[in-house]
Structure 1
Amino acid sequence: MLFDVISSDYKSDVLTGDTFETLKTLPDGKFDLVVSSPPYNIGKSYETKETIEKYLATQENVIRELARVLSDKGNICWQVGNYIENGEVFPLDIYYYQIFKKYGFKLRNRIIWHFGHGLHAKNRFSGRYETILWFSKTDDYIFNLDPVRVPSKYPGKLNYKGDKKGQPSGNPMGKNPSDIWEIVVQDWENELWDIPNVKSNHPEKADHPCQYPVELVERCVLALSNKESWVLDPYSGVGSTMIASLKNERNSVGIDRDENYCQITKDRLEKLRKGELKTRPINKPIHVPSANDKVAQVPKEWIGTLNY
């Protein structure tokens, strides 16, 4: 999907360099929202694998700086997966929770991002989700409910007593999303967000092995920052956070040590400003293969087996 030309009134600064050292150059309290997916320490091309202890110590330095540059009404959305060592799973969100609490952050939601495709496992169940930890810096934090309301299940429900007896009891803009983690009715209906990850056939695919979708970031941007807010991604990759921010009239700063990724980010931002960048529309239904799709048909060799 292509978007109209974006106003040039909103700034997007791409900074190349070490995250911690670059953060130290940014002013106190500048950002209302931090959205990022830090390296998972799994040995990708853009990271150096370390012991879990050394990795977390490095990340604590970064989080300490994020606490400084975040405004008092600010939020952090920290997307993480799992660290694997010798076949054992280390859930990074649990380790990160302790670090954020150390610096006074308060966890508001633990959101599960579910996707249908990922790495296949042989000695454990294949992973199909990652976790987004949403922390606020204080109790007086930015939260915009209206942009993310969902249609009411029973919009015709009426008040049965009091001054408003007989009048609609709900909100005409929709209801507050539930915090029940069951089945996806709509993307904001529960805290299980069914959004496809960025693979080879995704319209946003760029030269990054762990690119996350703009659609995922947009939800955080709309709910947890205001128009004209500054949004920061300290591990910006190919610019998904910056694109989501610019699309929705926010300013942004992205930091990445890889010059190639920074250049890709700049190119993508320029295409967005020109109305030439393709992204997946927010809330677009997940593709379900039809019975006629060849790859959706059961191979004849499997017919009669346990599940077919």
Structure 2
Amino acid sequence: MIEMKKKSKLTFDTIPQIYSESNIITLYNGDCKEFLNQFEDNSVQLIVTSPPYNVGKEYEKRMSLDEYLEWQGEIIDLCVRKLAPTGSICWQVGNYIEGTGILSESYPLDILLYPMFKRNSLKLRNRIIWTYGHGLHASYRFSGRHETILWFTKSDDYIFNLDDVRIPQKYPGKKGYKGSKAGDFSGNPLGKNPSDVWVIPNVKGNHVEKTDHPCQFPLSLVKRLIKALTNEGDIVVDPFMGVGTTPIAAMELSRRGAGSDYMYSYYQTAKARTIDASNGVLRQREDKPVYEPKKGTPLTINPFE
């Protein structure tokens, strides 16, 4: 395993922008292509990212859909080149919306981007649905409450640590009722496979992880991917890191994290969060079921009935 520098030595001025194998974390402020070219080909174990959706956020320049797909294709090609033979790519996207009001139309980006991974001979292992309970309310279509994560591998020899990401069984006391295992507990004692539908709150409103970024990754979502698809000491890269959630999650899980963002304000926030994480004071939500208030409490009573 590659020896990494100690977390305790991280300060605002010592978090490196230039990648080295010994770095615990690398945060780059600039173009993602320049950042990706710091890595040797076939060296990165996991790339986790959520690129801009081309919907006009402050961190992106809106372009035509064809221009956007061409740009994304260039980034995907470069990512695949950097990916290790045992590596995985997780590309998290939502919908591109063209037009407004009743004239608007949705374009699912995962479907449009899928051919760009396939032309690089990657294999799709899962199309994970990330669903959450809160967001904007639509008037001319059903309100969007999910996004997708495309998980591709570069080969059939890939890392998948299922036991590290199992979740509690729905019925842990369930027993077999027939055959040689009648009367035995039927579930895996470590928990169940989390499936390909993940219910994880998005980082909005009063979420404890909320920063100045409008579309922020939850740490628990990224950590699940990192635990499952890498081992300790592996390098995890995010070319669109925003406020640094992916590299920070990697660092906290004893991996080496690296990410880039061209927005200086987000880069600064990422550095501040990195220092908090290295000191053990970064606020984060535990990976646990979504809270449901008890029936009969004010939140559950309909005042209009």
2:67 aligned with 1:63, yes or no? no
Alignment correspondent of 2:302: 298
Alignment correspondent of 1:212: 217
Note closer, same or farther for the CA distance 1:236–1:289 as it changes in structure 2 (3 Å cut).
farther
Partners in 2 of 1:169 and 1:194 — Cα distance? 24
Q: How far 1:168 moved relative to its partner? A: 6.7
Q: How far 1:170 moved relative to its partner? A: 5.8
User: CA offsets, 1:118-138, max 9 Å, x none?
Assistant: 111111111000001111111
Q: Which amino acid counterpart does residue 126 of structure 1 have in structure 2? A: S
Partners in 2 of 1:88 and 1:198 — Cα distance? 25
Alignment correspondent of 1:77: 90
Preserved CA contact (<8 Å) 1:14 1:262: yes
Alignment correspondent of 2:267: 262
Unaligned runs of 5+ in 1: 178-187, 304-308
Alignment correspondent of 1:247: 252
Select which of 110, 117, 134 maps to 2:151: 134
Partners in 1 of 2:7 and 2:220 — Cα distance? 17
TM-score, with structure 2 as normaliser: 0.85
Count of residue pairs the alignment pairs up: 282
2:117 aligned with 1:112, yes or no? no
Note closer, same or farther for the CA distance 1:139–1:7 as it changes in structure 2 (3 Å cut).
farther
Select which of 270, 288, 292 maps to 1:283: 288
Q: How far 1:207 moved relative to its partner? A: 0.7
Task: Give the SS at the match of 2:112.
Answer: helix
Partners in 2 of 1:51 and 1:78 — Cα distance? 21
Preserved CA contact (<8 Å) 1:236 1:256: yes
Query: How do 1:115-264 residues align onto structure 2 when only pairs under 5 Å count?
Result: 115-152=132-169, 153=171, 156-157=175-176, 160=179, 171-175=188-192, 177=193, 188=194, 190-264=195-269
Q: Which amino acid counterpart does residue 193 of structure 1 have in structure 2? A: W
Preserved CA contact (<8 Å) 1:10 1:246: no
Partners in 1 of 2:276 and 2:206 — Cα distance? 19
Q: Which amino acid counterpart does residue 110 of structure 1 have in structure 2? A: R
Q: How far 1:95 moved relative to its partner? A: 0.7
Preserved CA contact (<8 Å) 1:116 1:128: yes
Q: Which amino acid counterpart does residue 252 of structure 1 have in structure 2? A: G
Partners in 2 of 1:130 and 1:222 — Cα distance? 21
Note closer, same or farther for the CA distance 1:200–1:107 as it changes in structure 2 (3 Å cut).
same
Partners in 1 of 2:140 and 2:177 — Cα distance? 53
Seq. identity, %? 46
Higher relative contact order (CA 8 A, sep 6+): 1
Q: Decide which moves more: 8-17 or 248-257.
A: 8-17
Q: Which amino acid counterpart does residue 255 of structure 1 have in structure 2? A: S
Alignment correspondent of 1:25: 38
Q: How far 1:240 moved relative to its partner? A: 1.1
Note closer, same or farther for the CA distance 1:262–1:155 as it changes in structure 2 (3 Å cut).
same
Partners in 2 of 1:289 and 1:200 — Cα distance? 22
CA RMSD in angstroms, aligned pairs only: 2.5
Q: Decide which moves more: 281-290 or 14-23.
A: 281-290
Note closer, same or farther for the CA distance 1:292–1:251 as it changes in structure 2 (3 Å cut).
same
Q: How far 1:285 moved relative to its partner? A: 3.3
Unaligned runs of 5+ in 2: 1-5, 10-21
